[in-house]
Structure 1
């Protein structure tokens, strides 16, 4: 099974181009879309346990972007025998620093207090590179539709995540890392720190290359899957 894990603050529709091309399953995460409601703190282990129920007993290929990539790595840390391969897009394997942890917790409080609209207005053109207007409109809709309490709970959980590089090295699986050349949230240098089988940089894309540069992203994924 190819199991997609969406990022923050999105929903399963972000994977529409890949579902059309490759099939698979893309659930809404807890606190997002049609997923179970969430508030307070949603630990990464809770997201991983939810995915384990969806995945079933056979090893899966996990494809996650940003927070979704971190959840995929958490799944691999907790259930390494159930992972066939990893596709990690625009994500970081490192734990938060004290500074970035504080920023993430402050953002969680802000989302609960203000709702999603101010954040969406600020973040849109960092999520998507200028010129990718169709992708930007899709991303805007997802951000505005995200439940603020669920998004805040996920941010608090992410603030406590471990460094995943040790578990990735301890239980290696085929791993494709994809990153947009213009991504300022997780730059190419950050992607290069993830233990991987291969790294693909998508030119002209920011944080969501699967939507911004669908053909190039799908080509990278298709080549990787063909090699498994």
Structure 2
């Protein structure tokens, strides 16, 4: 379905939970997690601008623009507020949204993500953007899979890796590049003190895309945030280890029980 500017996959009943996906993927990534949580929560998996089935006008955009898309989508769904869970780029969008619209976020889960990629971010992400449009998508997969998953998981769960790879291959390369530029320009650190939602920060111990040091910056900057460092995992912690759905559930449940 389409709600406001974005395509949305919806399932379950209960308190609303919005899932925000990583760069160059889509809300389809979240199917296993959405299924696991839909017995207790109404889950909305969004396709961010230019990704999946969501439209894009071809113009540059920022992470704040993506967060504004989320707000307009919540409006279209008649949701004054919701819990947000974001992974990687989706987590960066969630940070921006929660920092600028704290009253709209009931609880927050930030997985393998960051508010800022460092002093060389613009240059590094410009190169990522260039490769997104000049290197055939299939040839980009080796780089991506190594960042996403531990070698052991990639070897023993080829069907799961293939599922994510197929989503990546279907992603619009120009939108991938535009989102990369947006990531390079992002610095949401000043927004962290404005976040009031109970927050769980999760990161794979072996995540070299958004390492534990970046997760600690988030947890230190958000009042009362909890930090979980997950042994043996790289960047796609919630995909590689489905049992982490229980950790997410416990966090969301605590917030629901206090409402």
TM-score (norm 2): 0.81
What 5-or-longer segments of structure 1 have no aligned partner? none
Aligned equivalents of 2:59, 2:133: Cα separation in 1: 10
Offset at residue 90 of structure 1 (A): 0.1
Which residue of structure 1 lines up, in the alignment, with residue 122 of structure 2? 101
| Residue pair 1:47, 1:71 contacting (<8 A) in 2 also | yes
Which residue of structure 1 lines up, in the alignment, with residue 82 of structure 2? 60
Aligned equivalents of 2:47, 2:25: Cα separation in 1: 9
Between 1:188-197 and 1:85-94, the stretch displaced more is 188-197
TM-score (norm 1): 0.92
Q: Which of the two has higher C-alpha Rg?
A: 2
Q: Secondary structure at the match of 1:4?
A: strand
Aligned equivalents of 2:108, 2:252: Cα separation in 1: 10
| Residue pair 2:130, 2:177 contacting (<8 A) in 1 also | yes
Aligned equivalents of 1:39, 1:115: Cα separation in 2: 20
> What RMSD in Å do the two structures reach over aligned CA positions?
1.7
Which residue of structure 2 lines up, in the alignment, with residue 136 of structure 1? 161
Which residue of structure 2 lines up, in the alignment, with residue 85 of structure 1? 107
Aligned equivalents of 1:29, 1:127: Cα separation in 2: 19
CA distance 1:135–1:189, shift in 2 (3 Å): farther
Offset at residue 42 of structure 1 (A): 2.0
What 5-or-longer segments of structure 2 have no aligned partner? 1-15
Which residue of structure 1 lines up, in the alignment, with residue 181 of structure 2? 156
Runs (4+) off by over 4 Å: none
Offset at residue 114 of structure 1 (A): 2.4
| Residue pair 1:200, 1:220 contacting (<8 A) in 2 also | no
CA distance 1:182–1:38, shift in 2 (3 Å): farther
CA distance 1:144–1:20, shift in 2 (3 Å): same
Which residue of structure 1 lines up, in the alignment, with residue 27 of structure 2? 12
Offset at residue 226 of structure 1 (A): 1.4
Offset at residue 5 of structure 1 (A): 0.4
